[in-house]
């Protein structure tokens, strides 16, 4: 790497976002946030099927610890008590809860299943992500809140990244000196100015700390997305869902962290929340039966959340397969009855107006779900993009 390339890299590290230009600055576009819960969230603990009499037989200690405080939904389901914001969104008809879903992965390997979840293919392509293909079809702009580009946003379409650093705050005169140094180099000047603009947008956000890291990242994401030249979509990640032991305590913490992040994202988006869909997914579910350490092991079926001001929510969707021994997948897992990709495809079709041909490129041979996902007053006529 030569000196000019290194300086360009330094300039770009200040920024993760480029302006789309004045021609698009005044257009209000539908926003999309893709949130991956890494480690396999237990969908049966997030969305409890309390009406299923076999639930207690499989995991009595896990259920009795939370069922009295759980937030009741339709069809005999309930949200974990540490998800009060999601429960409120459900009552406000801004949350769809989809049960017994699958990422399409036929493996219980975290890494392989996450690759499939992010690529959107039956066999993962680590250099082509479903969200990259979707935003390319939309001709939009994307942002990954991450150190590098996750598989979901890898591909032919340019994606920007942003992640907070922990360096000492630079003095103002440093940037003045850099501006003078870069004055005769258009590329470096542009990178520096973009970085300074991004810093200004996030200046009101406190420095990230361990206790509320995800909430701070979600807030930063919302701040960048609501900007006049903000991205059409963004990706967030939350790790720590592999609960082989002590699940009650550990998921209480993780669900609280997730819930606080949704609050921060919604607050930061401001009016853009009404035009936003947040997709919350995980690579696979957990075993129906608890193990000997009051945890659960790698499973299959889980749950999917679609939320946001643009969502026609207040419903529990998805066919429930039942928890009788004969109804379990391979005698141990919740049997998936639908594919995450079909629900996401419905979001892309109704929210971003992608055509069937474009959707088949995003999720080959997985047709979109027929259910209405987006509020009627936000539905637009499908526009064919050349």
pLDDT computed for residue 301 by the predictor: 97
Residue 206 included in any domain:
no
CATH number of the domain within which 262 lies: 3.40.720
Residue 71 included in any domain:
yes
Range of the domain at 361: 28-163+212-377
Q: Report pLDDT digits (tens) over 354-366.
A: 999 999 999 999 9
Those residues with Cβ within 8 angstroms of residue 124's Cβ, 6 or more apart along the chain or in another chain: 112, 115, 116, 118, 151
pLDDT computed for residue 166 by the predictor: 56
pLDDT computed for residue 9 by the predictor: 41
Q: How many CA atoms lie within 13 A of 102 on its CB side?
A: 23
pLDDT computed for residue 196 by the predictor: 54
What b-and-e string marks burial along 58-72, b requiring 16 or more CB atoms within 10 Å of the CB?
bbeebbebbeeebbe
pLDDT computed for residue 130 by the predictor: 98
Q: Report pLDDT digits (tens) over 20-40.
A: 433 333 446 899 999 999 999
Residue 366 included in any domain:
yes
Residue 380's pLDDT band (cuts 50, 70, 90): low
Helix (H) or strand (E) holding 115: helix 110-119
pLDDT computed for residue 212 by the predictor: 80
Residue 195 included in any domain:
no
Helix (H, G, I), strand (E, B) or coil at 161: strand
Q: Mean pLDDT of all residues in the chain? A: 86
Q: Is the pLDDT at 50 greater than 90, yes or no?
A: yes
Most confident of 12-16, 90-94, 170-174, 184-188: 90-94
For the chain, the domain total comes to 1
What are the strands, taking DSSP E only, across 82-215?
95-102, 142-145, 160-162
Residue 284 included in any domain:
yes
Question: Which of 112-116, 141-145, 181-185, 282-286 bottoms out in mean pLDDT, i.e. has the lowest?
Answer: 181-185
Residue 321 included in any domain:
yes
pLDDT computed for residue 187 by the predictor: 74
Residue 251's pLDDT band (cuts 50, 70, 90): very high
pTM as predicted: 0.82
Q: Residue 76 and residue 66: Cα distance in Å, rounded? A: 15
pLDDT computed for residue 384 by the predictor: 33
pLDDT computed for residue 168 by the predictor: 43
pLDDT, greater one: 203 or 184: 184
Those residues with Cβ within 8 angstroms of residue 253's Cβ, 6 or more apart along the chain or in another chain: none
Q: Residue 15 and residue 30: Cα distance in Å, rounded? A: 23
């Amino acid at each position: 790497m030569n000196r000019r390339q290194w300086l360009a890299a330094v300039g770009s590290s200040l920024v993760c976002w480029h302006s789309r230009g004045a021609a698009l600055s005044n257009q209000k576009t539908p926003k999309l946030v893709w949130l991956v819960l890494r480690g396999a969230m237990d969908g049966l603990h997030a969305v409890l099927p309390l009406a299923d009499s076999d639930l207690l037989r499989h995991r009595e200690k896990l259920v009795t610890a939370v069922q009295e405080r759980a937030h009741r939904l339709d069809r005999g389901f309930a949200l974990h008590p540490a998800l009060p914001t999601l429960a409120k969104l459900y009552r406000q008809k801004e949350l769809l809860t989809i049960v017994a879903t699958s990422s399409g992965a036929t493996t219980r390997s975290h890494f392989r299943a996450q690759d499939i979840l992010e690529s959107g293919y039956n066999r993962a392509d680590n250099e082509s992500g479903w969200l990259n293909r979707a935003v390319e079809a939309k001709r939009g702009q994307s942002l990954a809140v991450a150190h590098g580009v996750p598989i979901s946003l890898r591909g032919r379409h340019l994606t920007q990244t942003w992640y907070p650093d922990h360096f000492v705050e630079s003095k103002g005169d440093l940037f003045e000196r850099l501006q003078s140094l870069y004055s005769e180099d258009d590329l470096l000047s542009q990178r520096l100015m973009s970085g300074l603009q991004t810093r200004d947008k996030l200046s009101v956000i406190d420095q990230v700390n361990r206790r509320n890291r995800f909430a701070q990242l979600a807030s930063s994401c919302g701040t960048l997305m609501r900007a006049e030249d903000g991205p059409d979509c963004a990706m967030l990640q939350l790790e720590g869902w592999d609960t082989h032991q002590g699940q009650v305590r550990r998921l209480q913490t993780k669900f609280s962290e997730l819930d606080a992040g949704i609050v921060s994202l919604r607050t930061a988006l401001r009016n853009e929340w009404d035009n936003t869909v947040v997709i919350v997914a995980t690579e696979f579910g957990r075993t129906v039966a608890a193990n000997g350490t009051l945890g659960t092991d790698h499973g299959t079926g889980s749950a999917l959340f679609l939320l946001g001001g643009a969502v026609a929510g207040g419903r529990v969707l998805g066919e429930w397969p039942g928890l009788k021994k004969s109804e379990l997948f391979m005698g141990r897992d919740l049997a998936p009855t639908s594919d995450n990709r079909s629900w996401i495809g419905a979001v892309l079709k109704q929210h971003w107006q992608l055509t069937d041909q474009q959707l088949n490129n995003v999720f080959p041979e997985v047709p979109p779900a027929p259910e209405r996902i987006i509020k009627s007053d936000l539905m637009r006529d499908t526009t064919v993009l050349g």
